[in-house]
């Protein structure tokens, strides 16, 4: 095991432009979109002395580091499964070991970008996986998970707005109609406008996006310069964006100069052998920031992910990391690194393939179990599509077809339906769609949606559990007493 000096990230970030002629364009400078804090943030002053610290035999009285000899952990071992556990039903366990220099370097203060050796693995994996359409290549930086990454990106690329400021200065982000709630929430609390765009099973509708931007209501503030999208196996709707749709949307983002933040924790969970392109691969301008995570394909508790973007953008994220999380956990990094080294690129891809099969099986079991309940007495009740990726089936409950439809609003019915599910003889917990609404302006419109997750159940349970939901639906459809409906709606837990 060799120690890799912090060369690669430094090189990628600060590399002079390649002198060799290339047909690729230079990435565009995105500085116009920087928030004030990113503009004035300085890189770490200690960097000045870096070359001096490499003088052989130098007496180091400068660094305020604790003494690495006092780290009480001498060695960390982990028993890991084999990468072909799911593809080849290989039940063998492997063992990884972190000791010596790796222990000392991952447990000491380090670079904000993470341990150089793991950073290099990630950079190489990214370079192999995605062909960069612009000159100079992608840069990468580790995050403490995608939520951490989103929060940092909003901080770099937006300014807080407050009512004392002229509304013309109010900035905004665009999200899908339903989205990961924390991404919207951490923009909302900064006073940003959240504009959500209508979507279908491929995500954002290009014409709706164009309409929003072309007819932007400047009385609300600036036209948004950031778009947040989960374009593969979207949470919560399961939508997956195809390449043609993607090109249309990218073109609109070029036209209105919008930075695309693609949050792709479900990227590896694309089913049926179909792999969609990502925004990163069509991004000639360097306007895409991609978030990848080990949360869904290794473990959420690793709090480890990585961000891919043009080098100048990554430099800003690096600088903010120095003021916030610094590097991700050394324990996470050492275990991740040793596992990835043992498995290699191909092993890692094989592991992802195994997970893909497992989740695909679960999707199929859920969809199969749900299908018989789609109609009651020839009336559409549960409207859903088979998701092409991810962890979720997104169901629209057709309350209009309920016998008591004329007596209750969709919102009341959805509350009653949730409570019925949670308290019926076989309780089933589901997630109301409005949990994923970036804003609650149109509750009635959002009320009919429900997210079902097939991720966390065992195969043996999926059919039974989904069937439970189906039977609760029938029971719900059998309610004819308005008083019972009213009571169920009233029992819905409220904030």
**181 touches 190 (CB < 8 A):** no
Contact with a copy of itself (CB under 8 A) among 10, 13, 28, 41:
41
Q: Which two tokens stand for residue 376?
A: 């009651």
**366 touches 454 (CB < 8 A):** yes
Q: Is 438 in the site for a copy of itself (CB under 8 A)?
A: no
Q: Is 58 in the site for a copy of itself (CB under 8 A)?
A: yes
Q: Is 443 in the site for a copy of itself (CB under 8 A)?
A: no
**96 touches 77 (CB < 8 A):** yes
* Among 100-108, 215-223, 409-417, 479-487, the segment contacting a copy of itself (CB under 8 A): 100-108
User: Of 20 and 74, which has the nearer Cβ to a copy of itself?
Assistant: 74
Per-residue string for binding with a copy of itself, 172-211, x by CB under 8 A? ---------xx--xx-xxxx--------------------
Q: Which residues pair with 414 in a beta bridge?
A: none
Burial 177-209 (b: 16+ CB within 10 A, else e): bbbbbebbebbeebbbbbbbbebebbbbbbeeb
Chain-centroid distance, C-alpha 320: 19
Distance CA 313, CA 464 (A): 48
Q: Which of residues 387-406 bind a copy of itself (CB under 8 A)?
A: 391-392
Q: Tell me if residue 99 falls in helix, strand or coil.
A: strand
Q: Which two tokens stand for residue 37?
A: 């804090």
Ramachandran angles phi, psi of 94, nearest 5°:
-110, 170
Contact with a copy of itself (CB under 8 A) among 90, 135, 455, 475:
455
User: Of 17 and 61, which has the nearer Cβ to a copy of itself?
Assistant: 61
* Among 214-222, 331-339, 397-405, 479-487, the segment contacting a copy of itself (CB under 8 A): 331-339
User: Of 75 and 368, which has the nearer Cβ to a copy of itself?
Assistant: 75
Contact with a copy of itself (CB under 8 A) among 142, 291, 308, 428:
428
209: left (phi over 0), alpha (psi -120 to 50) or beta: alpha
Q: Is 60 in the site for a copy of itself (CB under 8 A)?
A: yes
Q: Is 355 in the site for a copy of itself (CB under 8 A)?
A: yes
* Among 2-10, 55-63, 279-287, 306-314, the segment contacting a copy of itself (CB under 8 A): 55-63
Contact with a copy of itself (CB under 8 A) among 240, 325, 414, 473:
325
DSSP assignment of 159-208 equals: ----TTS-GGG--EEEEESS--HHHHHHHHTTT-EEEEE-EETTEE-HHH
Min CB(355)–a copy of itself separation in Å = 6
Q: Is 240 in the site for a copy of itself (CB under 8 A)?
A: no
User: Of 164 and 406, which has the nearer Cβ to a copy of itself?
Assistant: 164
Distance CA 466, CA 461 (A): 8
Q: Is 431 in the site for a copy of itself (CB under 8 A)?
A: yes
Sign of the CA dihedral running 292, 307, 238, 250: negative
Task: Tell me which residue has tokens 């969809």.
Answer: 367
Q: Is 494 in the site for a copy of itself (CB under 8 A)?
A: yes
Instruction: Give the CA distances from residue 137 to residues 10, 223, 262, 305, 310, in Å, rounded to whole numbers and listed in that order.
Output: 14, 29, 18, 19, 7
Contact with a copy of itself (CB under 8 A) among 303, 316, 356, 410:
303
Within a 10 A sphere around the Cβ of 300, how many other Cβ atoms? 12
User: Of 243 and 474, which has the nearer Cβ to a copy of itself?
Assistant: 474
Q: Is 363 in the site for a copy of itself (CB under 8 A)?
A: no
Contact with a copy of itself (CB under 8 A) among 17, 20, 48, 92:
48
Q: Which of residues 129-168 bind a copy of itself (CB under 8 A)?
A: 144-145, 147-148, 151, 159-160, 162, 164-166
Q: Is 301 in the site for a copy of itself (CB under 8 A)?
A: yes
């Amino acid at each position: 095991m060799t120690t890799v000096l912090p060369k690669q990230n430094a090189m990628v970030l600060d590399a002079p432009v390649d002198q060799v002629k290339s047909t690729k364009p230079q990435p565009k400078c995105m500085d116009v979109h920087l928030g004030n804090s990113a503009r004035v943030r300085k890189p770490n002053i200690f960097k000045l002395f870096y070359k001096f610290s490499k003088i052989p035999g130098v007496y180091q009285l400068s660094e305020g580091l604790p003494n690495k000899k006092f780290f009480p952990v001498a060695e960390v071992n982990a028993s890991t499964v084999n990468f072909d556990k799911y593809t080849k039903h290989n039940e063998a366990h492997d063992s990884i070991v972190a000791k010596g220099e790796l222990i000392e370097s991952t447990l000491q203060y380090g670079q904000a970008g993470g341990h150089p050796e793991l950073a290099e693995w990630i950079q190489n994996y990214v370079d192999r996986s995605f062909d960069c359409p612009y000159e100079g290549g992608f840069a990468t930086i580790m995050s403490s998970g995608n939520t951490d990454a989103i929060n940092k990106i909003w901080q770099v690329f937006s300014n807080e707005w407050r009512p004392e400021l002229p509304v013309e200065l109010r900035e905004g982000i665009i999200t899908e109609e339903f989205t990961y709630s924390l991404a919207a929430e951490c923009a909302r609390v900064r006073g940003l406008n959240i504009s959500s765009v209508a979507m279908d099973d491929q995500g954002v509708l290009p014409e709706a996006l164009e309409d929003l931007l072309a007819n932007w209501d400047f009385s609300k503030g600036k036209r948004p310069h950031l778009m947040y999208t989960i374009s593969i196996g979207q949470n919560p709707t399961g939508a997956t964006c195809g390449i043609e749709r993607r090109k249309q949307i990218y073109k609109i983002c070029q036209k209105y100069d919008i930075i695309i933040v693609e949050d792709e924790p479900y990227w590896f969970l694309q089913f049926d052998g179909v792999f969609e392109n990502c925004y990163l691969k069509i991004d000639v301008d360097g306007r895409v920031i991609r978030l990848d995570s080990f949360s869904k394909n290794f473990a959420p508790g690793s709090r480890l992910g990585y961000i891919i973007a043009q080098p100048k953008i990554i430099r800003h994220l690096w600088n903010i990391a120095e003021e916030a999380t610094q590097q991700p956990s050394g324990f996470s990094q050492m275990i991740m690194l040793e596992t990835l080294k043992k498995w290699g690129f191909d092993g890692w891809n094989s592991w992802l393939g195994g997970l893909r099969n497992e989740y695909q099986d679960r999707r199929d079991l859920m969809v199969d179990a749900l299908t018989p309940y789609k109609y009651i007495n020839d009336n559409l009740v549960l409207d859903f599509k088979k998701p092409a990726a991810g962890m979720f089936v997104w169901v629209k409950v057709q309350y209009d077809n309920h016998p008591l439809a004329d007596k209750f609003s969709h919102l009341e019915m959805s509350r009653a339906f949730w409570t019925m599910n949670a308290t019926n003889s076989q309780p089933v917990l589901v997630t109301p769609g409005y949990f994923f609404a970036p804003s609650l302006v149109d509750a009635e419109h959002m009320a009919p949606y429900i997210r079902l997750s097939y991720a966390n159940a065992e195969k043996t349970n999926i059919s039974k559990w989904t069937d439970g939901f189906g039977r609760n639906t029938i029971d719900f459809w059998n309610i004819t007493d308005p008083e019972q409906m009213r009571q169920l709606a009233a029992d819905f837990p409220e904030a």
